[in-house]
Amino acid sequence: MPTPSFVRYKRSRFATRLPVGHRFTRSHYWLSRDAAGRWRVGLTTFATRMLGDLVECVFALEPGAPVQVGQPIGSIEGFKAVSDIYAVASGRFGGGNRALDADITLVESAPYGDGWLYSVDGSADPDSLDVDEYVHVLDATIDRMLESRRESDGE
């Protein structure tokens, strides 16, 4: 039997489909190799929900610049927050996704496809997770959020 291409995930009021072949980080980025062997990097559905409707994505590096895992490389602005974008791969910055200049909503509408943020020619974060490991991260994150909400509601 072939491996399914997506894992369905639901916890509380959050549901998504996670691509099996992607790598994930604890900070809710995904990584996937493109046809040229570069790592494409994007935000998970969970991350985009936390940012709210997106307005702009800006990178502080030129293509070809060296990057290291954990390095801030740009920012993404949503109606709820402005967040730094970090490198989750080391090597050479391949540039941002030019399609986002015309339609930033791709990050939300096609998070694991056309909505990728940037690419890196190099190696993925050695601490990146497979889909099953990322599911455990989501469970723990959502549980903490629910517990925090209960505590603030005085339960």
Give yes or no for a contact between 128 and 88, defined as CB atoms under 8 angstroms apart.
yes
pLDDT digits (tens, 9 = 90+) for 104-144: 999 999 999 999 999 999 999 999 999 999 999 999 999 99
At 71 the three-state DSSP class reads coil
Cα distance between residue 62 and residue 50, in whole Å: 28
Counting other chains too, the contacts that 6-12 makes at CB distance below 8 Å and 24 or more residues apart are 7/131, 7/132, 7/135, 9/135, 9/138, 11/138, 11/139, 11/142, 11/143, 12/142, 12/146
Q: Percent of the chain, pLDDT > 90?
A: 87
pLDDT digits (tens, 9 = 90+) for 31-68: 999 999 999 999 999 999 999 899 999 999 999 999 99
pLDDT digits (tens, 9 = 90+) for 9-38: 999 999 999 999 999 999 999 999 999 999
